[in-house]
Structure 1
Amino acid sequence: MAVSHDIAVSGVRPGKVLLVGEGMGLFAAGEEGPCSEVGSFSASVAGAELNVAIGLERLGQHPVYMTRIGQDPIGERILYFMRQNNLDTSLVGKDATRSTGFMMKSKVEQGDPKTYYFRKGSAASALGPADVKAIDCSGISLMHMTGILPALSESTLEASKALVELSRANQIFVSFDPNERPALWKSDRQMKQTLLSLSAKADLVLPGISEGRHLFGLDNVHDIGQAFIDNGARYAVVKDGPDGAYATDGHDGVYVPGFKVDAVVDTVGAGDGFAAGVLSALLEGRRMSEALERGCAVGAMQTQVVSDNEGLPDKSRLNDFIAGRQRAAVRQVG
């Protein structure tokens, strides 16, 4: 592990982790070719915040996941999947008038698969501030959200703002992954303004290089991290793809190299795995360098499977992976 000036993260205490988002059905093509032509698909469950919840649970944490589903087979599959993964379903609401969203994903030999979303007007898009205000914050110490939730609808945008305010009012540590999805937003301007506003109110922000480039016009992880700090975040963790990750609190900075894998099967879900790794380590009271190492490891493991969350490990598998893998070369980021 390469460490420059490590960071002790304050404000994170053991407890439940609240996540709010859209759980979706995932149909992954069983063979290469256009989704309109392939003959078979495998069914599973996806959703950024749900992926993080699963990753956290497998690493010994206590996630609480809120979503809304339709009264349909995909919604029932999400409930079944959550129970199979020991996730609390008490905050899953059912909507009699809206359907559960789903997505289709192509299979490719190399590169990123094509993904098609069917989520407009979904049950989860009807989540609103009233749902947030009804949350019992007892025992919750950390709230993690992504930029997907506020992009789904006007009501989820207001719910996202309410989530941040609820967390701040209850001394809950706020983690935010901008997770840009331009196709979901009405305009680029609205996306930028909203993501910057939510990032400014976060204790920890977890952008990638692409978000730093789009929101600030920057390409260097050091500069991107500092830009998010100057924007208002307490800590910034910048994902540098397979090369590693950089973190800063505006004074100190630490870069940890990533893990080499033999071949990338699918990159979808890797960022969610990274977030689960980082957050689980911080909830254990570990320093930032250890959190980055764990995040990089979990993210690398998730790239080895087609499912968005099947590769998320328990602690035993994670430790074996870290012990047996080569690290990427350390980059100069200053």
Structure 2
Amino acid sequence: MKQFDMLTFGEAMGMFMANTKGNLSKVKEFTKELAGAETNVSIGMARLGFNVAWLSKVGIDPIGTYIIEELQKEKVNISLIKRDSEKLTGFQLKEKVEAGDPFVQYYRSFSAANQMSCEDFPELAQITARHYHMTGIPLALSNPVRELAEHILKKAKTEGKTISFDPNLRPSLWKNEKEMISVIQSFACRADWLFPGISEGALLTGFQEPKDIAAYYLDKGVGLVVIKLGKEGAYVATQQENGIVPGIKVERVADTVGAGDGFAVGVISGLFDGLSYFEAVQRANAIGALAVMSAGDKEGLPTRTELEQFMKRGAVV
């Protein structure tokens, strides 16, 4: 049985970032990068020294090769990546902005990862992890991917391992809002550690206040609920304690994409390191702050040294 510190899965894409501002139809030059919520978390954990495996499928094409090579550089275990000879790897075009949320155009419905299934990964039976991280994005891709997610969740439960879940709502990937909420909730309520944003939690539960959103999930059996509140920080709740962990002041918000993934890295790594829930979320706020100050999805994810230096000088809002 091969064991990792963490296993996660999903779809990685090539990301072509516009080198100049303006409508993507007018941009002529782009910079190629790697995109994917779960790969961001994998890379973030690997940079902190953890043994992480990422499971997926990519095409036998230049973008697929690029993704594998980038993950290898980051020391993410790639033994669970399959190559598809018939389907290509998805990609996206990302707008350049001065600050805030950039527009992103996705090209993924044809992708190799879109139809990956349990049958593609028989070796999962011989692999385990200390922790399994999941997001809501793969659940929207197709029924086979959703069945794979269910299989991995049940495997983690059977093994008695912890599961974290980030809803990462992408309404455009779903047939309708009702289906999205139903499927996401079926996974969220079985997680040990749950990381919704405040707007996601409100949509999923119907409650507006962080304490009510958290209470909803705690009543369902979730052990730790951390609700992301943007620059205000995060609300932390367990059955025994709750409270706000203030955010970290940032110099400039360059790009918010990937901040939630960095936040997940902070909580998971902090709990791995034996920090208290509040200390782990303080780390999560710090990594989220580093992420939003960087233009790329993963460029702001720190090494341990970079994280320690930032947290020493980081001003709390």
| TM-score, normalised relative to structure 2 | 0.96
- Secondary structure of the 2:14 match is strand
> Is 2:96 the partner of 1:107?
yes
Partner residue in 1 for 2:155: 166
| Counterpart position of 1:182 | 171
Note the C-alpha offset of 1:132.
5.2
Q: Is the 8 A contact 2:18 2:24 kept in 1?
A: yes
Q: Does 1:130 align with 2:123?
A: no
User: Could you tell me how far 1:111 is from its partner in structure 2?
Assistant: 2.5
CA distance in 2, matches of 1:132, 1:170: 18
Q: Shift in Å at residue 129 of structure 1?
A: 2.3
Task: Report the equivalent of 2:141.
Answer: 152
Number of the residue aligned with 2:33? 44
Does the 8 A contact of 2:192 with 2:223 survive in 1? Answer: yes
Q: What residue number does 2:298 align with?
A: 309
2: CA distance, partners of 1:202 / 1:137 = 23
5+ residue gaps, structure 2: none
Tell me which of 286, 289, 293 is aligned to 2:282: 293
Identical aligned residues as a percent: 39
Deviation at 1:27, TM superposition (A): 0.5
1:319 maps to: 308
Q: What's the counterpart of residue 272 of structure 1?
A: 261
Deviation at 1:127, TM superposition (A): 1.4
TM-score, normalised to structure 1's length? Answer: 0.91
What is the root-mean-square deviation of aligned Cα atoms in Å? 1.4
Structure 2 counterpart of 1:111, which letter? G
Aligned residues: 315
What's the offset of the Cα at 1:213? 1.4
Aligned partners of 1:162, 1:139: CA distance in 2, in Å?
13
- Are 1:118 and 2:107 counterparts? yes
Rate the CA distance shift 1:314–1:136 in 2: closer, same or farther, 3 A.
farther
Quick one: distance in 2 between partners of 1:113 and 1:138? 38
Superposition deviation, residue 232 in structure 1? 3.1
Q: 1:125-157, CA deviations, whole angstroms, 9 ceiling, x for partnerless residues?
A: 121123455314545110001000110111111
Runs of 4+ in 1 over 4 A off after TM superposition: 136-139
Map 1:1-334; keep pairs closer than 5 Å.
16-131=5-120, 134-136=123-125, 138=127, 140-328=129-317
CA distance in 2, matches of 1:250, 1:30: 48
Question: 1:103, 1:118 within 8 Å by CA — same for their partners in 2?
Answer: yes
> Which residue identity does 1:166 align to in structure 2?
K
- Is the 8 Å Cα contact of residues 4 and 53 (structure 2) preserved in structure 1? no
